[in-house]
């Protein structure tokens, strides 16, 4: 059985379309070197929110609010809610303006602070968590993600191809508390375009809190 020629070029044709505003945020991100997920991972996140029927979503790492806009637009009104954490106050204010401009400010809260400090104060349950902070923070954040997710809730982690994510990858793979799979992907317009994504479902640990 033969494969399509130039597989990477071929799959670049299937980047999901998006509106002018999202394209502008992508251009700003390239210009300012802000590592946003880009349209492929963003569309995947939205699709997973829709497919899982997630109503309470937590994002760690807001930046300008690009992925938050996709997550928020995928939520089912009227009770779908996104809480997104950002430690840089300038970026957090910028995200709030972008979320308002995208028409989703009513269902999103941008919480300022260092992820570990905010996580320690948070109570669940969340149906879906998207992890996209500094990769050194992934492993310390993992027990909180488990505590905050409902049983069967989904954790998606970006950039698990980074060396700094190695301990997180190993823990997720070995832990009986998660059922997980890491994928090496081609992700057009992502930073970087050849990277890993991890998907994990909470399978143990009692009720969320
Ligand atoms: C990769 S960017 C997020 C991109 C965003 N998810 C998107 O795709 O549109 C990471 C953001 O998380 C913030 N951040 C990194 N480490 C953090 C931490 N430990 N606590 C809180 N925010 C953090 C950074 O300031 C940065 O704005």
pLDDT score of 206: 60
pLDDT digits (tens, 9 = 90+) for 61-75: 999 999 999 999 999
Pocket test for ligand 1, best of 134, 168, 197 (most atoms within 8 A of CB): 134
* Residue 28 covered by a domain: no
* Residue 16 covered by a domain: no
63 Cβ below 6 A of ligand 1: yes
pLDDT digits (tens, 9 = 90+) for 145-192: 999 999 999 999 999 999 999 999 999 999 999 999 999 999 999 989
61 Cβ below 6 A of ligand 1: yes
* Residue 117 covered by a domain: yes
Q: Which long-range contacts (CB under 8 A, 24 or more apart) does 162-166 make?
A: 162/135, 162/195, 164/134, 164/135, 164/136, 164/138, 165/135, 165/138, 165/196
Average per-residue pLDDT in the chain? 95
SS3 content of the chain, % helix, strand, coil (to 5): 45, 25, 30
Positive or negative torsion for Cα 15, 18, 20, 25: negative
Q: Range of 167's domain?
A: 36-202
* Residue 2 covered by a domain: no
The number of folded domains in the chain is 1
pTM (global) more than 0.95:
yes
User: Of ligand 1's atoms, which has the minimum distance to the CA of residue 91?
Assistant: 27
85 Cβ below 6 A of ligand 1: yes
CATH code (residue 182): 3.40.50.150
């Amino acid at each position: 059985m033969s494969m399509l020629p130039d597989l990477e070029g071929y799959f670049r044709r299937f980047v999901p379309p998006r509106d002018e505003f999202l394209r502008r945020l992508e251009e700003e991100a390239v210009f300012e070197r802000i590592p946003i997920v880009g349209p492929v991972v963003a569309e995947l996140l939205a699709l997973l929110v829709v497919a899982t029927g997630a109503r309470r979503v937590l994002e760690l790492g807001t930046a300008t609010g690009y992925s938050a806009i996709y997550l928020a637009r995928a939520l089912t009104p009227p009770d779908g809610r996104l809480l997104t954490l950002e430690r840089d106050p300038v970026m957090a204010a910028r995200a709030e303006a972008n979320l308002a401009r995208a028409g989703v400010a009513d269902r999103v809260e941008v919480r300022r602070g260092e992820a570990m400090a905010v996580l320690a104060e948070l109570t669940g349950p969340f149906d879906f968590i998207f992890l996209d902070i500094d990769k050194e923070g992934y492993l310390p954040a993992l027990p909180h993600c488990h505590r905050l997710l409902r049983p069967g809730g989904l954790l998606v982690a970006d950039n698990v191809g980074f060396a700094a994510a190695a301990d997180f990858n190993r823990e997720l793979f070995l832990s009986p508390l998660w059922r997980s799979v890491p994928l090496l992907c081609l992700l057009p317009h992502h930073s970087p375009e050849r990277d890993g994504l991890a998907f994990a479902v909470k399978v143990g640990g009692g009720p969320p809190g």
